[in-house]
Homo-oligomer: A and B are copies of this chain.
C-alpha cells in the first residue's frame, strides 16, 4: 500500500572560485547585512554568529574573490565600519538571479518524479 506522500526535488546553489566555495546562501546573507548596517559586528549579531566567525568568513571571501567584496573603513563616527564593494553588490544580485533561475528549472523537473 503506497502512502500518500508528495515528492519534490530540492536544491542548493553556491558560487565557486577556482573550485573553492566563494558564496552560498549564508555568506550572501552576511554580505547583505554588512551592506545594510555598514558593520561586520552588527551583521554577525543579526545572524547569531560571533564577530570572529563573520570576520573569518569575510576574509575568506575576499581572498577567493577576484577583487574584495567587502572593504573595511577606518575611522568615522563609529570607527571600524565595513562596506560592500560594487563587485560585492553585483555578486549578491547575481546570486539571487541565478538561484531563482535554478529554482524555476527545479520546479519543472520536480514534476517528472515518478516512483
The residues of A with any CB-CB pair to B shorter than 8 Å are: 1-19, 21-22, 64-67, 87, 90-91, 94, 97-98, 101-102, 105-106, 109, 112-115
The CA of A113 and the CA of B17, in the complex, are separated in Å by: 11
Asked whether B66 lies within 8 Å of A94 as measured between CB atoms, the reply is no
**A10 to B, closest residue via Cβ:** B16
The CA of A9 and the CA of B10, in the complex, are separated in Å by: 16
Q: A7-B16, A12-B12, A16-B7 are in contact. Are A115 and B87 (CB under 8 A)?
A: yes
The CA of A65 and the CA of B19, in the complex, are separated in Å by: 34
Q: A15-B8, A66-B2 are in contact. Are A115 and B90 (CB under 8 A)?
A: yes
**A97 to B, closest residue via Cβ:** B112
